[in-house]
A = this chain, B = another copy of it.
Amino acid sequence: MDAKTLCLGALMLGDASGYEIRKFYEDGPYSAFHAVSLGSIYPALNALLTDGLVTVCEMAQDGRPAKKVYTVTEQGKAVFMRGLEGSPGADRFRSDMLFILAFGHVLPPARRTALLDGYLEEYQRMRAELAACIDANPDVPAGRRFVRDFGLAVYEAVITYVAENRHILEDVVDDAVKEKV
């Protein structure tokens, strides 16, 4: 998803500043499937402003820098909904870890184990974070409930798979000695 659509999507759920949009996609339960950096949010927001899809309101805050709060216009909402009509591109699951683990059987056993431990910990951390987030606000609309539970299901599947199948990699001491690739 391009930065403009991502910004518009966040604003559909409520007014926000660029900084807040970044937080929304970085921390929240949607971080599993989407990402945007500030370097693309700010230009996107200005482009949306030029196109009349959002309006701004500069909000002074004490003890903090002023922030620019953006609001979607009616036109912006229409454009967003129309953008949802096209057929979505295929999901992309990219993993450096799995590239490395594809050669796991020729890695030093200690490294292999460290890698698997770290991988499991990382997913367990993400699962716990998402679960906490779901517990914190259980009453979100169906769409978002579907997506965040989806995330939980994927995290769980990964954790279960790795825990149950890491032996495939760790039981190959003999093979490693034979220098098989």
Among the listed B90, B158, B166, which residue makes an inter-chain contact with A154, where contact means beta carbons less than 8 Å apart?
Answer: B158
Please tell me the number of chain A residues within 8 Å of chain B, measured between CB atoms: 65
Can you offer 27 A-B residue contacts whose CB atoms are under 8 A? Answer: A1-B94, A12-B181, A13-B181, A32-B93, A34-B95, A35-B92, A35-B94, A81-B106, A84-B100, A84-B103, A88-B95, A88-B100, A92-B94, A93-B94, A94-B94, A101-B146, A101-B147, A102-B146, A105-B142, A141-B180, A141-B181, A142-B168, A142-B171, A146-B169, A150-B165, A154-B158, A157-B157
Q: How far is the CA of A169 from the CA of B80 in the complex (A)?
A: 19
Confirm or deny: A19 has a beta carbon within 8 angstroms of a beta carbon on chain B.
Answer: no
Please provide the chain A residues from 44 to 97 with a CB less than 8 Å away from any CB of chain B in the complex: 81, 84-85, 87-97
Q: How many copies does the complex hold?
A: 2
Interchain CB contact under 8 A, A98 and B181:
no
Chain B residue with Cβ nearest A103: B143
Q: How far is the CB of A104 from chain B (nearest CB, A)?
A: 4
Q: How far is the CA of A30 from the CA of B96 in the complex (A)?
A: 12
Q: Apart from A13-B181, A145-B168, list 12 A-B contacts with CB within 8 A.
A: A12-B103, A33-B95, A90-B122, A91-B96, A92-B92, A104-B142, A105-B141, A142-B172, A146-B168, A149-B165, A150-B158, A157-B157
